[in-house]
Amino acid sequence: MEGAGYRVVFEKGGVYLHTSAKKYQDRDSLIAGVIRVVEKDNDVLLHWAPVEEAGDSTQILFSKKDSSGGDSCASEEEPTFDPGYEPDWAVISTVRPQPRHSEPTRGAEPSCPQGSWAFSVSLGELKSIRRSKPGLSWAYLVLVTQAGGSLPALHFHRGGTRALLRVLSRYLLLASSPQDSRLYLVFPHDSSALSNSFHHLQLFDQDSSNVVSRFLQDPYSTTFSSFSRVTNFFRGALQPQPEGAASDLPPPPDDEPEPGFEVISCVELGPRPTVERGPPVTEEEWARHVGPEGRLQQVPELKNRIFSGGLSPSLRREAWKFLLGYLSWEGTAEEHKAHIRKKTDEYFRMKLQWKSVSPEQERRNSLLHGYRSLIERDVSRTDRTNKFYEGPEKPGLGLLNDILLTYCMYHFDLGYVQGMSDLLSPILYVIQNEVDAFWCFCGFMELVQGNFEESQETMKRQLGRLLLLLRVLDPLLCDFLDSQDSGSLCFCFRWLLIWFKREFPFPDVLRLWEVLWTGLPGPNLHLLVACAILDMERDTLMLSGFGSNEILKHINELTMKLSVEDVLTRAEALHRQLTACPELPHNVQEILGLAPPAEPHSPSPTASPLPLSPTRAPPTPPPSTDTAPQADSSLEILPEEEDEGADS
């Protein structure tokens, strides 16, 4: 279809906007429309317009929406429908209140007609396109612009997503993200700029005219260095450069590299030192640090002893209150008694909030009812082999339930998430007091509450940091895991989520946690604990010919077979080995607390340590081992022709 100054090269009906956040849309929340690709005035536009009941759907205006505020009800807020339904990466479940939004819906806002949802965007303004995952009732696409905003999700009730993507691939280069096969990164179709980047950086001896196509198909064999916009690690499996070759390389470009990325070369680590752990701190040794008024003295020395040897079991009930911030290291005995009285009153006030809710009230409070149901289910299966929790007549189960429900009153925003019962159980077992255990649990949650946030950004960032540490410590192991589609380290998710609670026997978990709570020898020791476990299993993984499924199976079978003292000894040795390296990359120094964090305006340098990745997205492990394996760090170019019937 052609008109004055424009030509429609693609048109597809049955493309709906879902303007409600509900999973099951009602009729009034669906807006039917037509999607078109239009060539107009030396530009190519993607345009969606609703089909008016009494109008001609072909009469559309090919102009961008005025963003200056002319249509306030349409531009004020995008549809709050979450195009992902639930996060693909979600391994933990949450109970969340349904958000209330004021997006324009048909019939609800007479001043905002359906036409206010129409939009038109130049293809040059697109940054990425996300496809729906298989298995949904229909496919959808979400368009993200260079400005960072996303357009309303387009739901293709009659199919057509692949046809649209094929048309877009005539004008754009659509490259599948190595971390998310459903995310297409958008680049200009003319790759001359990328070729020029290779040429100016002189990364290749031969002519760079065909480098781009080969790089997109096989980046590892084409290059092992990087241009400034891409994080890169020298592959440990590649041969090192001959001596003197570095002098032939050009000086770095004058332009300042994009913040948040650091080129990591093969770091030459020195020999790994030998570490010997000490005996546990006894009650007598602890008593020597208590002053006349009950104030602890020489606290740094005491913390160092706890780090190097842990605590004797009889001392934990008192010492954990200090390690978890419930009691102050600087307080006197009288100050501690006053603090405990205050916190006891505060706890029971919060507990009364949910205890006083009647069954009739709870039926109208879906959030509290959801928390209660989830907590009861988790508590019933938490550490039931432990004598403190094994029988129905034991008070431990009831205390677990009450403390977790009270925590929902204490932290309304977070509430309860599966896994929290695993963190509370050892604390309650040691403290054996409801109030003290609650506040110690709150102190622990201050350290790990990011693990349970619904966005899971903290967990993704930790996996990224773990991969960065492992890359520096053992690049060959990283290469092996990459080759077996396990480079995302998703099998370490549970380790980091609940701090190895299910990997060690119960007494060993107590020892591990009290060592980690000291904060010594620096932050993120738990990541080095994970590195230590992988280092201990390195030969088994690499010499047994394991594939991704066998790697996951082997890691799961390590449960209750690890020695906490061996793991802590190795983790401390790894820390000393890294800190002794004079050329340790800055982002690794940040992880170990050896350097201040990056400037606030800079993206996190450890957000995505995967090599040669064109995206900053953190590593996203698959939700299960059944998902199709993804290329480690290569770009998958959208095929020219695909079967339209494959639309889901």
User: Residue 417: what are its φ and ψ, rounded to 5°?
Assistant: -130, 145
Paired strand residues for 17: 31
Query: Mapping DSSP to helix (H, G, I), strand (E, B) and coil, where does residue 576 land?
Result: helix
Question: Helix, strand, coil % (nearest 5) of the chain?
Answer: 40, 10, 50
pLDDT tens-place string over residues 239-298: 344 444 433 333 433 333 333 334 444 678 999 999 999 999 999 999 999 998 999 999
Q: Please state the rounded mean pLDDT for residues 597-616.
A: 42
Tokens of 622: 């698959």
Cα gap 6→10, rounded to integer Å = 12
Kindly state the average pLDDT of the residues 101-105: 39
Bridge partners, residue 30, by sequence: 18
Greater model confidence, 182 or 436? 436
pLDDT score recorded for residue 190: 53
pLDDT confidence tier of residue 157, bands split at 50, 70 and 90: confident
Q: Mean of the per-residue pLDDT values for the chain?
A: 76
Question: Of 120, 131, 133, nearest to 86 (Cα)?
Answer: 133
Taking 90 as the threshold, does the pLDDT of residue 391 lie above it?
A: no
E strand or H helix at 120: strand 119-122
Contact (CB, 8 A) for 31 and 60: no
Ranking 48-62, 123-137, 421-435 by mean pLDDT, the lowest is 48-62
pLDDT digits (tens, 9 = 90+) for 342-377: 999 999 999 999 999 999 999 999 999 999 999 999
Tokens of 93: 């479940």
Confidence category of residue 205, pLDDT binned at 50, 70, 90: very low
Q: Is the peptide bond before 50 cis (omega within 30 degrees of 0)?
A: no
Please report the pLDDT score of residue 42 as a whole number: 83
Domain definitions of the chain by residue range? 6-20+28-52+118-187, 315-451, 457-592
As given in the structure block, the two tokens for residue 59 are 């009469």
Least confident of 61-75, 359-373, 481-495, 538-552: 61-75
CATH number of the structural domain 6-20+28-52+118-187: 2.30.29.230
Contact between 431 and 437 (Cβ < 8 Å): yes
For position 324, what pLDDT does the model report?
A: 98
Instruction: Report d(CA 40, CA 64) in Å as an integer.
Output: 12
Whether pLDDT at 309 is above 50: yes
pLDDT in tens, 439-488: 999 999 999 999 999 999 999 999 999 999 999 999 999 989 988 889 99
Residue 136, pLDDT score: 55
- Mean pLDDT along residues 322-349: 97
Question: What's the whole-model pTM score?
Answer: 0.57
89-98, 261-270, 544-553: segment of lowest average pLDDT: 89-98
What pLDDT band is residue 227 in, cutting at 50, 70 and 90?
very low
DSSP label of 290: B
Using DSSP's 3-state secondary structure scheme, residue 572 falls into: helix
Mean pLDDT across 84-94: 36
Q: Which helix (H) or strand (E) is 530 found in, with range?
A: helix 525-536
The answer to which of 232-236, 272-276, 590-594 has the lowest mean pLDDT is 232-236
Q: Which has more pLDDT, 134 or 59?
A: 134
Please give the pLDDT value at position 436.
98
Q: Taking residues 134-145, what's their average pLDDT?
A: 77
Assigned CATH class of 315-451? mainly alpha
DSSP of 249-286, one letter per residue?
SPPPPSSPPPTT---B------PPPP----PPBPHHHH
Q: So what CATH class is 457-592?
A: mainly alpha
Q: CA torsion 95→96→97→102, rounded to 10°?
A: -160
User: Are 171 and 123 a contacting pair, CB within 8 Å?
Assistant: yes
**Which residues are CB-contacts of 535 (< 8 A; sequence separation ≥ 6)?**
473, 474, 477, 570, 574
